[in-house]
Amino acid sequence: VYHPDVTWVGVGSQNRVAQVVSVERRTEILLGKCREEVIGYMQQLQGREVNLSQKISGLQRELSATAAAG
């Protein structure tokens, strides 16, 4: 799993620790923002979600078309 704000060291239980650090860091960042910044961040994430959903749908259509043709 990719977490850009975490440096991964080791394996196993250390990864779980890194995930906790990642969540804590993101929580600290969000708590430090004003309401408008958080709303803007959420809107940005929703926009990315829509974009990725559209890309996934397009890829699924291409895959279905390729499977039907193959």
pLDDT in tens, 15-36: 666 666 777 888 888 889 999 9
26 vs 9: which has the higher pLDDT: 26
43 and 21 in a single domain? The answer is: no
Q: How far is CA 32 from the centre of its chain?
A: 20
Q: Are residues 38 and 67 in the same domain?
A: yes
Domain that holds residue 4: 1-32
Positive or negative, the CA dihedral 4, 24, 42, 31 is: negative
- Percent of the chain predicted with pLDDT > 90: 49
Number of domains, the chain: 2
